[in-house]
Amino acid sequence: MRVIRTGLPATELLNELRRDLQDENIEYMQRIPAPRPGERYRDIVAELFTKYGVATVYIFLKTPRGEKRYVVLARYDWSSGGFAEGWIVEGDSVRVFEPIGISLGQFSAALEEFGELFWKTEETLAGKKVEQAGKEPY
């Protein structure tokens, strides 16, 4: 596996994830930790972050252009503040993004924004499944 240090801040990773989640051609999405029915992903991540001061999320996306695996790690320490970093695995390469400082407010805002994006993506994927099922003979 080839490691590529992008030199870009982790905000660029989030921008790329944002664009990929808004792609109408998305075919599949999986998140770890995975929410159970009735749970919100953002609540699971927020609980990990508040209980342990660290949260790591893994997001797998499949589009007609290929597969991507996003990893985002956020940590917070009351004495030194917080930071987020991450990488994207695509094919046989890993693109590493530089850590950025984050406040609790920024972390919370990002959770809400991406929680909504994940929800909309799930709705899009569910709609595609229903449409596909309607085309298949009984």
| Alpha-carbon separation of residue 131 from 16, 19, 83 (angstroms) | 28, 24, 42
Confidence of residue 39 (pLDDT cuts 50, 70, 90): confident
Find, among 133, 3, 2, 17, the residue nearest to 84 by Cα.
17
Q: What is the pTM of this model?
A: 0.86
Q: What is the pLDDT of residues 53-76, one digit of tens each?
A: 899 999 999 988 899 999 999 998
Sheet with 54-63: list strands edge to edge: 2-9, 93-102, 81-90, 66-77, 54-63, 28-32
